[in-house]
Amino acid sequence: MATQLIKKMLGIHPQSNVKSLKNLSYFGSERHGYLVPDDFLNSESIIYCVGAGEDISFDTELKMKYDSRVYIFDPSPYGINHFDEVKAFVNKGTPLTLDPKLFSYHYKISPKQFNEIEFVPVGLWDKKDILKFYDPERENYSSHSAYLFTDSKSFIEAPVDRLGNLMKQLGHSHIDLLKIEIEGAEYKVIDTIVEDQLDVTAILVEFDEIYNTTDKAFHFRIKNSCDKLRKAGYVLVHSTVALKRLFVKKEVYDRLKKLEFNGKQK
């Protein structure tokens, strides 16, 4: 109890600064899913899902639900191979199952919708570069990282770029929803969003350092990153204990809150 109180006083508790929305829906598998506001996305929405790994359940479910314009980014062999594997199974009409022994999940997307998803084999960073992605030292952990695992002797090299550059290349002046699950690189990417004043309406981010920390200061690195978003006009509307968080621009938050209130009045 004392620890939780101290965290609240320091502003590093998982629920610090959360201004919740009630009308949220869950998409994706148990391990890699996220909550998204209702009455927010549609078929014209542009969605960037950064960090595929070996689970693109969230990405595909948003395509199924809203038929949005979905782009998946991942430069790693794991991400590329998994996307290709799902594509092959979907096009054959054979359901692919993730984690059959633990958290069983079946891809249900149609071939037509899956083939409308665009895969971009590039990672996010603060500049265009060829970056070292270090191998995780934990068993059964598939994600490489440019920020974590730097003591590892094994790594791959892959292309990265600044988010603003990729948006220009793809012809997008705005993003409706950005999901970043990128093993510690989220700090740099959030900095670029704020610095470049990018038009990103909602941001889903998993702060991966909580799983792979080497010191206690990670709490304050996460807090600092979240504070930057809040100062840039975002509202933190949801946070899990494991610090998977949803930020929404204030004007959209206000609109969604008004819909929530009007729904209560009926």
Helices and strands, counts by H and E, the chain: 8, 14
Residue 151 has a pLDDT of 55
Task: Kindly indicate the confidence band of residue 66, based on its pLDDT and cuts at 50, 70 and 90.
Answer: very high
End-to-end CA distance of the chain: 40
Question: pLDDT > 90: what percent of the chain?
Answer: 67
Q: How far apart are CA 247 and CA 203, in angstroms?
A: 5
pLDDT, residue 1, reads: 62
Report whether pLDDT(139) > 60.
Answer: no
The average confidence (pLDDT) of the chain is 89
Least reliable range by pLDDT among 3-17, 33-47, 100-114: 3-17
Contact criterion met (CB below 8 Å) for 211 and 148: no
Encoded tokens for 121: 């084999």
The Cα–Cα gap between 227 and 15 comes to 13
pLDDT at residue 207 in the model: 92
- Please tell me the predicted confidence (pLDDT) of residue 224: 95
Residues contacting 54, CB < 8 A, separation 6+: 78, 79, 82, 98, 142
Please compute the mean of the pLDDT values over residues 162-190 and round it to a whole number.
95
CA distances from 198 to 54, 102, 171, 201 (A): 28, 39, 14, 9
Other C-beta atoms within 10 Å of 261: how many?
9
Report the alpha-carbon distance of residue 207 to residue 184 in Å, rounded.
7
Is it the case that residue 134 has pLDDT exceeding 90? Answer: no
Whether residue 263 has pLDDT greater than 90: no
Tell me, what's the pLDDT at 264?
65
Q: Place 208 in a pLDDT band, splitting at 50, 70 and 90.
A: confident
Looking at residues 5-17, what average pLDDT do you find?
Answer: 82
Q: What are phi and psi of 57, to 5 degrees?
A: -65, -45
User: Binning pLDDT at 50, 70 and 90, where does residue 100 land?
Assistant: low
Scored b (16 or more CB within 10 A) or e, 68-96 reads: bbbbbbbbbeebeebbeebbebbeeeeeb
Identify any residues that bridge with 17 across adjacent strands, giving them in sequence order: none
